[in-house]
């Protein structure tokens, strides 16, 4: 993937057919913490006086949701995870503060009887949605005829707006979602810009809970785990909480609730995240995983090969070239298949 100035938000066991047949499928998207590649970026040291990408852009107030003083929906309260207090303290868990009140004005939904195409939303630039049309491609190929609200996970949420692959599913379709951003500098913007979603700040790349790791906490979109985010090798780091993703997924999507769309983009840490997921215990229908970044440019790349091995072992069908810089993986028992 070509480097860019703003960040691109940046399992092993095969699910049994019985598990998939007994649980109605749903699709969620997840995106990984730590994030994507920054192009043309020349940064020599960590400085919290650096300007956010938004500082040089036009105001985005009109695209931010109106914050309503209301409690989360009762349905969400009834399904509050058993480990919510742990997640709240360790992973800075923030529950939804606003329910879905209909498509955002930028979605272009009218009152006529024609099915919406959302072209006005897809015409927005990457400050408010995907960089390479990932959201539009995934929706059109898998979910356009879904007929119900789905679920998503995005790891590498950045500020919840810039180059996000999940915002369309949130503000236009009203899907239930989980946003994870490990960067402590950017995370406070996530619940503010995406109040309908669950949000957390931790690195889901450790097999055991209560761990920490070093993270390049810059203001840019390619911030990531020290040793993996090559753009900042040798620069100052901060410690962030680290633990497995599986317990969090089981908490947020309790009772066997499936994840329809999972977007994962964590600057080379993708295999580490996937290794913390037990695919026999959670249904994930469609996954979008970045496989080209600042240090994984050649075809024979260890991290990319590892991702594909993990997903093959989990039983997923791989689709190359559908989305720029990423692979799409679909479980064979998912109802969301390419025609």
In order of their start, the domains of the chain are 1-37+127-339 (3.40.50)
Residue 227 has pLDDT above 50, yes or no: no
Of 62-71, 187-196, 207-216, the one with minimum mean pLDDT is 62-71
User: What does the pLDDT read at residue 88?
Assistant: 74
Q: Kindly state the percentage of the chain with pLDDT values over 70.
A: 67
Is pLDDT of 123 > 50? yes
Residue with the bigger pLDDT between 18 and 293: it is 293
Top-confidence residue, 80 or 220: 80
Task: Identify which of 286, 315, 250, 320 has the alpha carbon closest to the alpha carbon of residue 154.
Answer: 286
Backbone angles phi, psi at 309, to 5 degrees: -65, -45
**Chain mean pLDDT for the chain:** 77
Show Cβ contacts of residue 115 under 8 Å, excluding neighbours closer than 6 positions.
Answer: none
The pLDDT of residue 301: 85
Read off the pLDDT of each residue in 207-234 and give the average, rounded to a whole number.
63
- Using a 10 angstrom Cβ sphere, with 0-12 exposed, 13-18 middle and 19 or more buried, the burial of residue 33 is buried
More confident residue, 57 or 91: 91
Nearest to 176, CA basis, from 30, 280, 43: 30
Q: Among 267, 273, 272, 266, which Cα is nearest to 294's?
A: 267
Between CA 295 and CA 1 the distance in angstroms is: 9
- 18 band by pLDDT with thresholds 50, 70 and 90: very low
Higher pLDDT, 282 or 236: 282
Q: Using CA atoms, how far apart are residues 263 and 265, in angstroms rounded to an integer?
A: 7
Asked if residues 25 and 151 have their Cβ atoms less than 8 Å apart, the reply is no
Task: Please list the residues that pair with 104 across neighbouring strands.
Answer: none
d(C-alpha 277, C-alpha 279), whole Å: 6
Q: Give the whole-angstrom CA distance, residue 36 versus residue 131.
A: 11
58-106 confidence digits (pLDDT tens): 444 455 554 444 444 444 443 354 566 777 789 999 999 999 999 999 9
What pLDDT band is residue 132 in, cutting at 50, 70 and 90?
A: very high
Q: pLDDT higher for 123 or 293?
A: 123
Least confident of 11-15, 215-219, 262-266: 11-15
Q: By three-state DSSP, how is residue 20 classified?
A: helix
- What pLDDT score does 83 carry? 60
For residues 119-144, average pLDDT: 96
Q: Are 53 and 310 spatial neighbours (Cβ–Cβ below 8 Å)?
A: no
| Res 64: pLDDT | 54
How many Å from the N-terminal Cα to the C-terminal Cα in the chain?
28
Query: pLDDT category, 269, cuts 50, 70, 90?
Result: confident
With bands split at pLDDT 50, 70 and 90, how would you rate the model's confidence at 2? very low
Per-residue pLDDT at 153: 99
Alpha-carbon distance of 284 to 93, in angstroms, equals 22
Q: Is 10 within 8 Å of 131 (Cβ atoms)?
A: no
CA atoms within 13 A on the CB side of 274: 32
Query: If you write DSSP's letter for every residue of 32-77 in order, what string do you get?
Result: -SS----TT----S--TTSPPGGGGS---GGGSPP----PPPHHHH
Q: 122, 223 in Cβ contact below 8 A?
A: no
Q: Which residue has the tokens 């020349």?
A: 42
Half-sphere exposure of 94 (CA within 13 A, CB side): 21
What number of helices (H) and strands (E) belong to the chain? 10, 9
Does position 131 have pLDDT exceeding 50, yes or no? yes
Phi-psi region of 331 (alpha: psi -120 to 50; beta: other; left: phi over 0): beta
| Section 258-266 average pLDDT | 97
């Amino acid at each position: 993937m070509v480097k860019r100035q703003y960040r691109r938000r940046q399992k092993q066991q095969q699910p049994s057919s019985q598990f998939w047949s007994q649980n109605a499928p749903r699709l969620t998207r997840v995106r990984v913490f730590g994030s994507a590649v920054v192009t043309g970026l020349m940064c020599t040291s960590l400085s919290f006086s650096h300007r956010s990408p938004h500082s040089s852009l036009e105001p985005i107030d009109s695209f931010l949701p109106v914050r309503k003083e209301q409690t989360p929906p009762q349905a969400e309260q009834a399904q509050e995870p058993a480990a919510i207090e742990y997640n709240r303290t360790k992973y800075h868990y923030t529950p939804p503060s606003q329910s879905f009140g209909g498509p955002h004005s930028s979605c272009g939904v009218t009152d006529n009887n024609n099915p919406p195409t959302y072209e006005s939303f897809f015409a927005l630039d990457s400050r408010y949605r995907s960089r390479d049309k990932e959201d539009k491609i995934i929706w059109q190929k898998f979910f356009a005829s879904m007929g119900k609200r789905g679920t998503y996970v995005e790891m590498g949420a950045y500020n919840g707006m810039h180059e996000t692959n999940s915002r369309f599913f949130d503000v236009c379709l009203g899907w239930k979602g989980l946003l994870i951003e490990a960067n402590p500098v950017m995370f406070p913007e996530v619940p503010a810009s995406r109040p309908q979603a669950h949000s957390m700040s931790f690195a889901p790349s450790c097999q055991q809970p209560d761990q920490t790791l070093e993270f390049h906490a810059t203001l840019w979109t390619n911030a990531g785990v020290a040793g993996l985010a090559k753009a900042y090798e040798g620069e100052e780091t901060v410690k962030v909480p680290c633990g497995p993703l599986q317990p969090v997924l089981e908490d947020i999507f309790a009772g066997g609730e499936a994840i329809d769309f999972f977007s994962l983009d964590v600057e080379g840490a993708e295999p580490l995240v996937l290794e913390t997921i037990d695919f026999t215990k959670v249904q994930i229908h469609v996954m979008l995983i970045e496989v080209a970044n600042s240090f994984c440019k050649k075809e024979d790349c260890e991290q990319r090969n590892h991702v594909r091995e993990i997903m093959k072992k989990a039983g997923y069908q791989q689709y190359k070239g559908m989305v720029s810089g990423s692979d799409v993986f679909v479980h064979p028992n998912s109802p969301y298949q390419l025609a």
